[in-house]
Chains A and B, each alone.
Chain A
């Protein structure tokens, strides 16, 4: 068999790559990893965009149950409402019971993590679940407890760093739950506004260096809140666009004078989509760079050429190519960071909720 050429997109190998990611995941109690829902998200959202979720058809139910087992539920007196969310792992020994909707007694130190709540919900949507076992009221209450005075969010009730990533997680959670009562939109928008740097890009917080990831989180949050044009003026949006376009070298870099990295083809590319400026990039150079980081043996993508692939860069490599309209890939909803098809499924769920 001929070796694959450099610009060939190896769809089948990527499907296998994500399948392997999923296979090593649900070993309960075996590790104390706190980001397993995130890894799951990269794998199944990646497979969805590759139009290959069918390959895990017979595991779907088990995976959905496994995701629900991460939900921190309110106890009978609802004294732990502020702790509700999805936890990152079964670290503290919560019993595996995917069907319950409340728990008998809250466990000390058991609380959700905003990024895991975000990825957990998205995974359920991608897998076609109707979110019937999601305790929406509890998740909203849990989220409300995480917003800080300055409008940003911390990740857990016990305290963590607070930054733009978590503003984005919070916006996505509210959008998915179709419930913004857990979220002070004005304050969050003001936090985002104050985080625009002197160079036009947006940092993780006020005063911090502009960054492709935080710029995406900021703009996508405003789009989900429907606040983009209320928050930034025409001139300010022009500066954000130019900052993003200047990130293109061949692929995209995350900050000025940093090396290009596959994941920014999504972070910066999706931001430009949301700002109606994606057609101003050099698509050919971008595609060539992303494909140069493809692992032609194992599948997946690395951050740089000739490096080991990982789940995050495999996923964002696929996303970057989807934005470019690569053949064989589903279209993406850039603000929600899931496929269009999954976003449409969410729309249907919202219609059902609103009708009831």
Chain B
């Protein structure tokens, strides 16, 4: 059939709301031509329901379209509705795993997987699946996000879990210190904690720093620990402020130069907030003002 014929035929059937086998077939032709047409999918679902079609056949068909068009919103939505109807999620982990084996960051696949895992409480093997993905590519940010999602919805970040997750992130950082995703996970897991008092964090940073690691994420993390000390009202304010401004300058001038304006801004903000405001510290203020890095 010509494209125009398919559409003319479909329009005629839609107007009558005919729910028949031939209508089901024509939706398939229309989906072939344009899988993004949400009306066609909706019509197809009405027919499936009315004719009490075998939903497992439909799941198979839907899976094929997903493999062909893995970034199509409508077909993933169709999948979800079918699973709501069957209440049978057993193919879904495999399906999303297949899609993720081609594109490990496919947002639709992760979204579907999260919905399935959560709706049907299939948490058992999720962490080992994620671990396998991170062994393949430690920079897979979607996998790190899934890790957070799983912990958050199962055990939560209680003290024991937190310790384990911090260690996990730290091990991954040691392998690839320039990886934003693992640093973000470490920082995110510790969100509720004070960075300056949580045990072991500065030691971990100093270990890397001592091995000449100068990842911007390392320097930024150390700066945050220092800022937290200042925020908590530490005693040696000028010393801590000085150390953090040295880090900020290193970021601006050498290790994260694309963000020179940002790091200068952070430096200014820290001086405003924490530089002692009495007379004798004017010199210190002048000294740190002199450290201001000019924009390139």
Contact = CB atoms under 8 A, between A and B. Distances in A.
Contacts of A285: 258
Given A93-B11, A198-B189, A256 B258 contact: no
Given A32-B30, A199-B188, A207-B152, A257 B140 contact: yes
A93 B105 CA distance: 38
Contacts of B80: 161
Contact of A32 (B7, B73, B185): B7
B150 to A, nearest CB: 10
A119 to B, nearest CB: 15
A285 B110 CA distance: 32
B42 interface: yes
Contacts of B140: 257
Contacts of A203: 145
A118 to B, nearest CB: 15
B260 A34 contact: no
Interface string B152-176: 1100000000000000000000000
A246 interface: yes
Interface in B116-150: 118, 139-142, 145, 148-149
B262 A92 contact: no
A248 B258 contact: yes
B14 A207 contact: no
Given A161-B73, A255-B105, A155 B38 contact: yes
A231 to B, nearest CB: 18
Interface string B66-107: 000000011011001100000000000000000000000101
Interface in A174-215: 197-200, 203-205, 207-211
Nearest to A255: B141
A208 B145 contact: yes
Interface stretch (A13-21, A106-114, A123-131): A106-114
Q: Is the contact region of chain A dominated by helix, strand, or loop, or is it mixed?
A: loop
B42 A32 contact: no
A93 B10 CA distance: 10
A186 B19 CA distance: 41
Interface stretch (A49-57, A74-82, A276-284, A300-308): A276-284
Given A32-B37, A160-B73, A209 B142 contact: yes
B261 A281 contact: yes
Contacts of B4: 29-30
A161 B110 CA distance: 14
A106 to B, nearest CB: 12
A33 B39 CA distance: 11
Contact of A280 (B73, B188, B265): B265
A155 B41 CA distance: 14
B261 A279 contact: yes
Given A160-B77, A207-B152, A256 B114 contact: no
Nearest to B17: A108
Interface string A57-88: 00000000000000000000000000000001
A162 to B, nearest CB: 9
Interface string B262-285: 100100000000000000000000
A310 to B, nearest CB: 14
Contacts of B189: 198
B111 interface: yes
Interface residues of B, number: 54
Contacts of A4: none
Contacts of B118: 207
A215 to B, nearest CB: 13
B2 to A, nearest CB: 12
Nearest to A208: B111
Interface in B27-74: 30, 33-34, 36-40, 42-43, 73-74
A208 B110 contact: yes
B184 interface: yes
B76 A159 contact: no
Contacts of B81: 159
A198 B188 contact: yes
B145 A197 contact: yes
B253 to A, nearest CB: 14
B37 A209 contact: no
B262 A31 contact: no
B12 to A, nearest CB: 8
A248 B77 contact: no
Contacts of A91: 7, 11, 37, 39-40
Contacts of A158: 38-39, 42
A285 B179 CA distance: 22
A201 to B, nearest CB: 9
Interface in B223-267: 258-262, 265
B145 A108 contact: no
B180 interface: yes
B179 A109 contact: no
A250 interface: yes
Contacts of A211: 107
A101 interface: no
B182 to A, nearest CB: 10
A79 to B, nearest CB: 16
Interface of A: 29-35, 88, 91-93, 107-109, 113, 155-156, 158-161, 197-200, 203-205, 207-211, 242, 245-246, 248-250, 255-258, 279-282, 285
Given A198-B187, A209-B107, 9 more contacts: A32-B10, A34-B34, A91-B7, A156-B38, A158-B39, A198-B185, A210-B145, A245-B262, A246-B180
6 contacts: A32-B33, A33-B34, A34-B36, A34-B37, A256-B141, A282-B260
The list of the 8 closest CB pairs from A to B, nearest first, reads: A198-B188, A199-B184, A209-B145, A257-B139, A93-B11, A158-B42, A256-B180, A280-B262
